[in-house]
Amino acid sequence: MKHEETIISGFGGQGALFAGQLLAYSGMAEAMHVTWIPSYGPEMRGGTANCTVIVSDEEIGAPIIRYPTCAVVLNLPSMQKYEPLVKPGGVLIVNESLVDIQSARDDIRVITLPASDIATALGNPRMANLVALGALAQATGLVALETVAAQLEAHLSERQRKWLEPNKAALQKGAELAR
C-alpha cells in the first residue's frame, strides 16, 4: 500500500506550495487519493511557506499531521522545524545550498543535495523546488518521475512556460542524486 504524508517547506517564493501541488496532481494522475493544505496567512510578505500533501491508496482521514513520513526542507528554518518530526523510517530531503547544518538522525533516510545551486546552474534558482521534488519522487517511489513531468507540463502557468524544459531537467537531476 502506498501512503506518504509529506511536508514541503521553504521561504515564500521558493515554490514549496507549487511543488506540493505538483505532487498532489501526480498522485491524482496515478489514481490515488490526495490532499494538499497550505500554511496560510495575511498577504504581507516574508516568512516561510509550507504545505502538507498526503498521497494514499486509501481514503484520507486527517489531512493535517504532526509527524510527516517525508519532509522536503528548502531553507534553514524549515530544517530546524521539520527534521526532528519526520517519522522513523521516513525520508528527509535537504537543500544544502541554504541549509548549513546536518541531520543527526540515523533512523530516517536523509538525502542532501545542493538544490538551489543545481537550479541556478540550470538557469534559475527558483527551480530548487523541482530538484527537491525529483529527489523525493525517486527516493519514495510514491509517483513516477514521468508522471510528475507530465503534470508539470499540464500545470505550469503560461508565464513560466519558457522554463518547462529546464524544470524537467531539474526534476531529472534531483532524481539522479537520490538514486
Binds other proteins (CB under 8 A): choice among 3, 33, 81, 87: 33
Phi, psi of 176 (to 5 degrees): -55, -45
Q: Which three cell numbers stand for residue 36?
A: 494538499
Binds other proteins (CB under 8 A): choice among 8, 14, 16, 25: 25
Which DSSP string do the residues of 67-89 spell out, in sequence order? S-SEEEE-SHHHHHHHGGGSPTT
Beta carbon nearer to other proteins, 59 or 100: 59
Please report, as residue ranges, which positions from 96 to 125 form the binding site for ligand SF4 (by CB under 6 A): none
Q: According to the binding rule CB under 6 A, does residue 44 interact with ligand SF4?
A: yes
Please tell me the distance from the alpha carbon of residue 34 to that of residue 137, in angstroms, as a whole number.
15
Q: According to the binding rule CB under 8 A, does residue 37 interact with other proteins?
A: yes
Binds ligand SF4 (CB under 6 A): choice among 1, 31, 40, 43: 43
Beta carbon nearer to ligand SF4, 43 or 158: 43
Contact partners, residue 92, CB within 8 Å, separation at least 6: 70, 71, 73, 82, 83, 86, 103, 105, 108, 109, 110, 111
Binding site for ligand SF4 (CB under 6 A): 43-44
Binding site for other proteins (CB under 8 A): 21, 24-25, 28, 33-38, 40-46, 59-66
